[in-house]
Structure formats: structure tokens, C-alpha cells
Chains A and B, each alone.
Chain A
Amino acid sequence: MDTIAAISTPTGNGGIGIIRISGNDAKKIINKIFVTNKNKELIPNSFKLGYIRNINNETIDQVLVSYFKAPKSYTGEDVCEINSHGGSVVLKQILELVLNNGARLAEAGEFTKRAFLNGKMDLTQAESVMDIISSKSAKEEKASAAQLEGKLGNEIRNIKDNIISLLADIEANIDYPEYEDIEEVKEQKVLSILNTEINRLDKLEKSFDAGKILKNGISTAIIGKPNVGKSSLLNVLLKEERAIVTDIPGTTRDTIEEMVTLSNGITLKLVDTAGIRETTDIVENIGVEKSKRALDEAELVLFLVDGSAGINDEDRKLYNMIVSKPHIVIVNKIDLDCVKTNLQDNNMVMISTKTGEGIDKLEECIEKVFNIEKLEDENQFIIMNIRHKDLIAKAKCGLLNAVSTVNSSMPMDIISIDIKEAIDSLGEILGESISDDILEKIFKKFCVGK
């Protein structure tokens, strides 16, 4: 059996998320992306603490990985589970990494199915398993169909059509070798079509990242020294009291994650951070460490200063930490007198978390920083669904293989193998079978037959 993976905890922002990997390569995949301090082998039935690292050896998250050796596992196969507390964006990043390293995205209910087929469940459970599969797949189908309505679906369909058309040309050449009106397919033409469609697929694939921003929210860290009003800002944005707000510096001991959709439709995934202070006793405060991590992972930093107190060295140090990230400088407490800012930044707004003044300006500014309009414009089509993204990547890979097959001067019938694979993947996204499409195209395009 091939190795499958999926996020096995419900979507949302629970404390921990689990990515489950099942199959022969489960351990192999973990070994590629997971590092521990001592770099020891995974031991069956035990947990190991370590880091998930991506291709560039950047740490994505600190995680616990458990390993269950076949047959003593949920599915009866080798199973590894990655326990992450990074929230949904991080979970998806890890899942992507797992998929890029040899796993395939699990179908609805597939873990359970495998568990059942490997004798891990009894007969009485079978029926509920069948129910799970059919209801999960119905849900997925519905979600997928909704996402494919409109421009995105058309784009994929159009790419598929162009590739089918190319394949039909090749196949017509093969099946009707003696017809003059079937123009011989030349390598150059094949390459030019392949490259065009590869580019389009590439754009679609990349739009997944843009899609993530729109769907999962912009991971946003509120940074500032203690008591400049970070929690108050969070509360204003949330329009409800959540974090404990007091005047005593250092009250926010932990990071809090909240999703907030602004009036302009942009979703922020807000991380309120404990104040980052340059003090010697930061070690005592776990929250500070977490804040720094939240800062590393943030896609947007809201840098908050106290306008009534003015900018001091501590503010400057923090500012230097965040200046290379997309950020907005927010001068708070403009309801008080004597607002002093001797800080220059292109993206600076003045607000009062107490009166709500300037919050609209802040929203506009976020829009400006992320250039959302441009993002939507450039990516008319945004892939939201990781299954779609997976299949688009597969299709692209098929076409890239076809290009290298053409470049190594292989004959047309071999090139068609790779192209067919690409069409299959796109067909899978659209839920369409393609075998008849090719013949349909041949007979539509060419006048052949005795």
C-alpha cells in the first residue's frame, strides 16, 4: 500500500493538531523532515520531541512525533503522528511537506478503511466505517464543487482542454498515420504548448499560498513592549473582551490566537503576544519566548507603540527586529494628549484602542500592505483546497516529464504517456473521466476514417 497522510484533527484552532501518516514509507518520510537534538531513531510506541524542518532547513515547528510499528497501530500499518501546536497554517505547511516527501493525501475515511481492511476493527464497526466514508466524501465533493465554480474551474478546464487537444493531435497522428489533414505534430509545437500550460499550472499551484492568506487568515503578530495596549487592540479588533487587560505590565502570560475578519473581508489570524521586554528575567516568562516565535512565523506584524509615552530605546530595538517583515507601526493612545512619534515608517497609523479612533485606517493600511487587490487581480484563480493543489502539482510534474521526454528525442507515443498522466490528474480535480474526451476531440478536429 502506498503511504497516505492527512490532518486528523478537526479544522479550527484547537490547542494541538495531529498529522497522521500511514504506510510503508511513514518512518522514511519522518526521517526526512524531522530532527531531534540527539537525532536518534524513532522507537516504536514512543514519542520524540524535535523540529520539523523544510527543504531549506528552516524550522517550521517544534513537535512531538509518535511512531507505531505495523501491525500494532491504528491502521495496522506503520503509522507516525506529528503533534503540532502551531495552529492550522503550520499544520498545513507540515502536511504539504509530508506530501512533498512521498506521501499521498488520504481519501476521505481512508485511515479507517485501512484499519478495517487490516483487521483492526470488528464487523460491527464496518457499517459505521462505510457511513463515515460516504458522508465524508460527499462533504468533500460538495466543498470541492463549490471551489471549482466560476473562474477557477474554468481555468482548470481550459488547461485540461488544451492538453487534451495536444494529446488528440498526437493520438490522431498515431491512429491515422496516412491522413494529410492531420498535421504532423512537431516537437517544437509540443514544447511550446507544454510550456504554456506548465506556466499556467505553476501559477495555479503558487496561488495556493495566496489562497492560504485569504482562507486561513494572515498570521499576524501584535508586537510591542509591555503595556502599550496590545491586548486592547486585540479586543478592539475582536470587539469583545478576551485577553486580560490591566495596567500592570506583563499581565498577558501566554499567546492567544484569534481569527478575526475585518470589515473589508480580510481575515487576520491574530496572535496577541506577551510583551517583549528586554529584561534579564525574561527566562521566567515562557510567554516571551513564544512571542518571539510568533514573531518569526508572522506574515504581518502590528507594531504597537505608546504615543503618549513616546519612542524609547526599547521600542527602537523591537522596531529593528520587525522592520524586515511586512509591518504596520501603530501609534496608540492618541486619545491622550501630547502624542510624540519620532519614528518614520511608510505604514504608520494613529489609533486609540480606547475610543476606536483610527481602526478603519488600520484596516485600510493592512489592505495596502498586502496589496490584496493586486493579489486577487494577479491570482484570478486561487487554489484553496490542498487536494486540488496536490493534483495540480502532479499534473505539472507530468507535463515537466513530457518536456524532458521530448528533449531526449523520445518518440511521440512515449511522450503521450506523461501527458496522459497530467490530464488524469486534472480530470480527477474536476471529477471527469477523460478517456472519451480524447477520442471526442480527435473526431471533432480531424476528418478521418475510411
Chain B
Amino acid sequence: MLENKDIVSRETLIKIKKGFYMEYNAGRYDVIVIGAGHAGCEAALAAARLGVKTCIFTINADSIANMPCNPSIGGTSKGHLVREIDALGGEMGKNIDKTFIQSKMLNTSKGPAVFSLRAQADRKKYHIEMKHTLESQENLDVKQAEVTEYIVENNEIKGIKTHTGAVFEAKAVILCSGTYLRGKIHIGEVNYESGPDGIFPARYLTESLNKIGITTRRFKTGTPARVNRRSLDFSKMEIQNGDEDIVPFSFENKELKIDQKPCYLTYTNENTHKIIRDNLHRSPLFSGVIEGTGPRYCPSIEDKVVRFADKERHQIFIEPMGEDTEEMYVQGMSSSLPEDVQIAMYRTIAGMENVEFTRPAYAIEYDCIDSTTLKLTLESKQIKGMFFAGQVNGSSGYEEAAAQGLIAGINAVHMIKGKEPLILDRSDAYIGVLIDDLVTKGTNEPYRMMTSRAEYRLLLRQDNSDYRLTPLGYKIGLISNERYAKFLKKYENINKEINRVKRTNIKPSKEVNEILRNAGTSEISTGVKLAELIKRTELNYDMLASIDSERGNLTKEEAEEVNIEIKYEGYINLQMEQINEFKKMEQKKIPANIDYKSIKGIRIEACQKLDKLRPESIGQASRISGVSPADINVLLIYLSTMEKGKQ
């Protein structure tokens, strides 16, 4: 038994009194990760790979890297996140490349900044591969246990306790509890305590969090039913195939060839909507039984029917759950209506007349924290060594979770080793936008990444993620020498080619003008720089290959990046200028011990907000709602008086 008893939870005391179990000293780790979902896996792998002793806890080892909702990775802006995770040395991109069953590049007509890669995953294989990767990782232990308590002394984390009485010491603990904290599932009038996919919820940790001063709130999300493929009639649906050319998520994979599985598209109709309307009173969302705040971008079908009453039909995508299963995911039909209503409404849909459920749709409520209580490193401002990542921070989505997990894992190690924290800002990466939004602005609903949240998205493209982040990943120690050498080579090729294209003069000739004419652009009569031709709307780098005798020998992706960098150069430079301005303010750091109340001239509202959120830089301060430019000016002057005072 440990001697320190002042922070034992009520449950534990009851259990001890009842003689349920004895606590025992189970060992010591540098980093402990609670939860082995997408955030937890990245956090644990990053920490272990950076050389510290790490342990990851999961309530059920068969649910590691589970996808309790849609069986897919990526999509708009989320695809960017996966690319960035990979560029920094994370695992998600590699894991999906090993286990995808369909791949698609979305938005190819809408501009280079928003090309978005999405892959359908084999859910079980994704889990198995990730589990195996964790198990095989040096410095990393995987343990199945429910963590019930934090051990905190003097506002510093010391360790954790599990439901079986094990007490582990740790220098840093990363909570990645997803939707498990006091998870509660609703299916119509029926509700019960549960994590997703029928796994146990985490029942005790919330109380321990509250006890050490971390407040929690209730969010809600939902998922549609899973159905048996044999009960569907695909002849009444539209088939949706993947791309022929598969673009991998990971830099480490070059060519991927698989036999892709199709998805299907069908629609709801007036009958579906009628059933929903007739049974709304039985939905816990409308009757008020559910207290949690749900996301706007992930509405249940009843929500859609109510809010968009005049819409005649809603799209439904049928996605395979994997190769070794007949289960299919019904995207667009998330619901918390009773099971009988669900079956009835699903059966109104074309191709689903005889549908058989394997698992019904449900809504799930869970506890999460207020992300504005975190630093940009994802460490708690209140308690040293306590990190948070993923849905517990109020985000939603596998990719958002993984991105936070990676950053929390790296920063936990850096904290232990006394190294500079890793903070990506809004101009570095979508990951920076995600974390800054959560920490600086906070969120009132589960937060989903969207391309429109990124101010500098022309520079935050998925094609240049490596360029933006791999040098950082290498410096941190998550990118191998071999990969880094390949990376340098790639950008040497690209830069050389960009310079050459800008220098190369194309003289007017019959051959040149024929190509221009065929492309529908004006012919040339004097010499023109190759770069100028590429910039023309009707042309691109590849189209001019035949008249470009010195063309470099580039891979497809290298060529694409050359094309984008040349074609959109003006706009890219414009954003670069904006970023330079932005960076100046980000680099003006605010000392942690600043006393806002003593600063004359800051308005009261701003003062309260600044005092509560304690921003790390002037830039971050300026993004807090309620802080005006005048407040920022006053703050700048105050800081410079402090600096001068020191000298």
C-alpha cells in the first residue's frame, strides 16, 4: 500500500473499506497515456519513440484504435491533418495506408489548397495493425485497465491508479479518454452507461478530475446503424468507386495497389421523413433527456428533417466496414430514435427495404474538459505534467484526436527532458489552427476541423505538408535519417526545377504555338519564360513537357508541387506577407507571471478574459474574443516597460 492517502476517491475508499481490493505499487513510467484511441496511440508512440518509458492504458485492448463511427480516415481538412501527422513522424497515415480499402482525392477541381485525401478503412485491420505497432514498440507497454484516479501533489501529477488497485507513478499523464468518461448511450427511451461499441465506460475518472480542480462538461455525439450487406439491394443505389491512381497518405509509401471496395449512394424520401416526424416525441434529443451539446456539422437524421423541413430527400452513403465482414456503415442516418422507429425508417430507403441491423444507431453523451484551461502544448495550466488530447478536449473526429495526441506526446517528453515545447502556430499547420482554436477560442460543441478555419490555407496544402513539417519532425527525433535524406532530395529536386522553370526561355516556334493553340491560349511571338506560360489558366507544367527539353526528371508529386508553386506564385507570396505580419505578433511572448489587473488602460472585460486565458503571446491574446486592438496596444507598451525596467 502507498502511504499517501489524501487524494483517494470516495469510490476507492468504499472499495477499500469493503475490502474489494488492495492497492499495490505497480511501477514507474515517464509517460502514462490513458486511452488507446486515435489520440492515445499517437501520444504513446511519440513518447516511446522519443526514448522515454511509456505505458498506454485501455479499458479494452480489443478496442485499440477503434473506429466507433465512420470507417474512414481523411476527407476535407482532415486529410490535411493526417498528412501533417505523417510529416511530423506520427502513425495514422502509415496505418491507413496499410489497411485502406478505397481511396479518393476530393476537391480536385476546387483549387490546390483544398485537395483532400480520404480513404475507407478496414476497421478491424486498422485496429489490429495499430495494436501490433503499439505492442512492438520499444519503450512502450500496453495494459488493459480502467484508470480510476489521478495522483496529484502540489499541483503536479505524480501518477495514476487503476480499478484493480495498481498504482503507477509517472512524470506526465496524457488523458485521451474519447467519449468514455461517464459515457451514456441513448437509443430512444432506452439509455444506459456505456462507452462506444458496447465497451465499458470510464466511470470514476471524472470525479478525480473534478477533485483536483479540473471542471468537466457534457458533450454529445452520435452514430448511425451498422447493417448487414446481404440485406441490401445495391441495384437501387448508385455505386461510388475509388480513384484509379492511389495517392498514399504517408511519405514513406510510394505506390499502393489494392483491389478497392465500392461505396453506395441512396436517399431518404418523404416516407422516411414522415416516420421521423411522427416519432419525434420519442427522441431523447427532443424530449430533453440528453443534456450534452451536439455538433452542428454532424446532425442526426431527425435533426436534419426538422431543421430542413422542405428538403425532399437526404443523401445516404453506404460504406463497407472492412473486407472480412458483411457489416456496412450507413452515413447520414445517425439517430437517437428508438430501435423500432430506426428499423422502420431505414426500411423506407431505396435498396434498404429489407435491411437487417447488426447494431442500432445511438447517441452518446460524455464528459470533456474546457480546452481553454490548456496551454498550447496541451498541458493543463493548473497541473504540471497533466496533458489532454482528443475528444476530451471537446474536439471530434479521429484525425483531430490523433493530431492532438501526437503534439501532447511530444510535449510531455519535452517537458520531462526540459526541452523547448513544440507549438505549431496557425501559419505552420492545420494542427496549429486546431489547437489554437481549442485553446484560445474554446468550443461550445464538438469541434471539427474545416478548411475554412485556416487563414493561410494556400500555404497549408496537403501536398507540401512534408516541406512544412518534416524538418521539425526530424529535429524532434521522430523522422529517421533515411527518410530525412529522401525528403531533402525531394525538395532539392522541386526547388531546382522551380528555379529552372523561372529561368528557362521559350522561343516562339511552330511546335510551341501549336501546343498553345490547342490549349486555347494565345500564341507567342517573342520569347517567354516557361514560368509565365505555366501561369496561364489554360496551361500547366505537365502540358508543356514536350516543348521543355531540359525538363527535370521528377516524380508525379514533385511535378505537382512545382506546378502549384509556379501557377499560384502571386497568391502564395501574398499569403507569405500576411504570415510574416502574423508571426511578428506570435513571437512577442507574454511572461507567465504577468499581472493583468495592475495594467492601467486595459478594459475590464479584456482584463478578465486575459487573466483567465493567460495567452502565451501577443498574437494569441489578440485572438481572444473581447480583447480589442487598443487593449493589445496597451499590453504591448506595458510589456516593453517591463523589459526596459529589467535592463
Q: Which residue numbers of A lie inside 8 Å of B, CB to CB? A: 107-110, 113, 116-117, 123, 126-127, 129-131, 133-134, 136-138, 141, 171, 173-181, 408-414, 416-417, 420, 433, 435, 438-439, 442-443, 447-450
CB–CB A411/B76 < 8 A: no
CB–CB B298/A449 < 8 A: yes
Which residues between 236 and 283 of chain B lie within 8 Å of chain A, taking CB atoms? none
What 3 pairs between A and B have smallest CB-CB spacing? A411-B111, A413-B111, A137-B630
CA–CA, A291 and B229, complex, Å: 93
CB–CB A450/B575 < 8 A: no
Any A CB within 8 A of the CB of B112: yes
On chain A, the residues within 8 Å of B295 by CB distance are 449
CB–CB A447/B458 < 8 A: no
CA–CA, A126 and B295, complex, Å: 46
Any A CB within 8 A of the CB of B645: yes
Q: Which residue numbers of B lie inside 8 Å of A, CB to CB? A: 69-70, 76-77, 106-107, 109-114, 116, 224, 295-299, 304, 307-308, 311, 314-315, 317, 331-332, 334, 450-453, 455, 457-458, 537, 568, 571, 574-575, 599-603, 625, 628-631, 633-634, 636-638, 640-641, 644-645
User: A412 and B296 in contact (CB under 8 A), knowing A126-B641, A176-B76?
Assistant: no
CB–CB B458/A413 < 8 A: yes
Given contacts A116-B640, A414-B113, A420-B455, 20 further A-B contacts (CB under 8 A): A109-B630, A113-B636, A126-B637, A130-B601, A137-B628, A171-B450, A174-B111, A175-B76, A177-B107, A180-B315, A413-B111, A413-B114, A414-B458, A414-B571, A433-B625, A439-B452, A439-B453, A447-B299, A449-B297, A450-B332
CA–CA, A174 and B111, complex, Å: 9
CB–CB B308/A447 < 8 A: yes
On chain B, the residues within 8 Å of A137 by CB distance are 628-630
On chain B, the residues within 8 Å of A134 by CB distance are 601-603, 630-631, 634
Chain B, residue nearest A107 (CB): B629
CB–CB A179/B315 < 8 A: yes
Which of B331, B451, B638 meets A174, CB within 8 Å? B451
CB distance from B196 to the nearest CB of A (A): 15
CB–CB A414/B637 < 8 A: no
Name 12 A/B residue pairs within 8 A (Cβ), A-sorted.
A116-B637, A126-B641, A133-B633, A133-B637, A136-B630, A171-B450, A178-B315, A411-B112, A412-B110, A417-B571, A450-B69, A450-B331
On chain B, the residues within 8 Å of A176 by CB distance are 76
On chain A, the residues within 8 Å of B307 by CB distance are 447
CB–CB A447/B110 < 8 A: no
Q: Which of B297, B571, B638 has the most CB of A within 10 A?
A: B297
CB distance from A388 to the nearest CB of B (A): 16
On chain A, the residues within 8 Å of B599 by CB distance are 130
CB distance from B478 to the nearest CB of A (A): 29
Chain B, residue nearest A116 (CB): B637
CB–CB A443/B297 < 8 A: yes
User: A130 and B634 in contact (CB under 8 A), knowing A180-B315, A413-B114?
Assistant: yes
CB–CB B111/A439 < 8 A: no
CA–CA, A132 and B484, complex, Å: 53
CB–CB A133/B76 < 8 A: no
User: A113 and B76 in contact (CB under 8 A), knowing A178-B106, A439-B452?
Assistant: no
The count of A-to-B residue pairs whose CB atoms sit within 8 angstroms is 140
User: A408 and B641 in contact (CB under 8 A), knowing A131-B601, A439-B450?
Assistant: no
CB distance from B332 to the nearest CB of A (A): 6
CB distance from A177 to the nearest CB of B (A): 5
CB–CB A450/B334 < 8 A: yes
Which of B298, B311, B644 meets A450, CB within 8 Å? B298
CA–CA, A442 and B633, complex, Å: 34
Q: Which of B297, B574, B633 has the most CB of A within 10 A?
A: B633
CB–CB B634/A175 < 8 A: no
On chain B, the residues within 8 Å of A450 by CB distance are 69-70, 224, 298, 317, 331-332, 334
CB–CB B625/A108 < 8 A: no
User: A443 and B600 in contact (CB under 8 A), knowing A137-B628, A438-B452?
Assistant: no
CA–CA, A303 and B337, complex, Å: 83
CB–CB A130/B106 < 8 A: no
On chain B, the residues within 8 Å of A433 by CB distance are 625
Chain B, residue nearest A408 (CB): B537
On chain B, the residues within 8 Å of A116 by CB distance are 637, 640
CA–CA, A110 and B601, complex, Å: 14
On chain A, the residues within 8 Å of B450 by CB distance are 171, 175, 439
On chain A, the residues within 8 Å of B633 by CB distance are 107, 109-110, 113, 133
Chain B, residue nearest A181 (CB): B311
On chain B, the residues within 8 Å of A175 by CB distance are 76-77, 450-452
CA–CA, A314 and B69, complex, Å: 93
Chain B, residue nearest A126 (CB): B641
CB distance from A119 to the nearest CB of B (A): 8
On chain A, the residues within 8 Å of B317 by CB distance are 178, 450
CB distance from A394 to the nearest CB of B (A): 14
CB distance from A137 to the nearest CB of B (A): 3
CB distance from B145 to the nearest CB of A (A): 32
Q: Which of A173, A411, A442 has the most CB of B within 10 A?
A: A411
On chain A, the residues within 8 Å of B602 by CB distance are 134
On chain B, the residues within 8 Å of A108 by CB distance are 630
CA–CA, A412 and B575, complex, Å: 16
CA–CA, A450 and B640, complex, Å: 50
Chain A, residue nearest B265 (CB): A178
User: A171 and B628 in contact (CB under 8 A), knowing A413-B111, A417-B458, A450-B298?
Assistant: no
On chain A, the residues within 8 Å of B603 by CB distance are 134
CA–CA, A117 and B106, complex, Å: 48
CB distance from B535 to the nearest CB of A (A): 9
CA–CA, A438 and B454, complex, Å: 12
CB distance from A348 to the nearest CB of B (A): 53
CB–CB B637/A129 < 8 A: yes
User: A117 and B637 in contact (CB under 8 A), knowing A176-B76, A177-B106, A413-B457?
Assistant: yes
Chain A, residue nearest B437 (CB): A435
CB–CB A409/B106 < 8 A: no
CB distance from A236 to the nearest CB of B (A): 46
On chain B, the residues within 8 Å of A129 by CB distance are 637
On chain B, the residues within 8 Å of A416 by CB distance are 452
Chain B, residue nearest A135 (CB): B601
On chain A, the residues within 8 Å of B332 by CB distance are 450
CA–CA, A134 and B107, complex, Å: 46
CA–CA, A385 and B579, complex, Å: 30
On chain B, the residues within 8 Å of A417 by CB distance are 458, 571, 574-575
CB distance from A138 to the nearest CB of B (A): 8
Chain A, residue nearest B602 (CB): A134
CA–CA, A116 and B638, complex, Å: 10
Which of B331, B568, B638 meets A414, CB within 8 Å? B568
CB–CB B634/A133 < 8 A: yes
CA–CA, A414 and B641, complex, Å: 42
On chain A, the residues within 8 Å of B315 by CB distance are 178-181
User: A113 and B637 in contact (CB under 8 A), knowing A108-B630, A123-B645, A433-B625?
Assistant: yes
CA–CA, A443 and B446, complex, Å: 14
User: A171 and B452 in contact (CB under 8 A), knowing A107-B633, A130-B601, A443-B296?
Assistant: yes
On chain B, the residues within 8 Å of A178 by CB distance are 106, 315, 317
CB–CB A130/B110 < 8 A: no
CA–CA, A128 and B106, complex, Å: 56
On chain B, the residues within 8 Å of A442 by CB distance are 452
CA–CA, A137 and B70, complex, Å: 50
Which of B70, B311, B574, B628 meets A447, CB within 8 Å? B311
Chain B, residue nearest A173 (CB): B110
CA–CA, A136 and B630, complex, Å: 9
CB–CB B601/A412 < 8 A: no
CB distance from B457 to the nearest CB of A (A): 7
CB–CB B107/A174 < 8 A: yes
CB distance from B434 to the nearest CB of A (A): 14
CA–CA, A348 and B453, complex, Å: 63
CA–CA, A178 and B265, complex, Å: 10
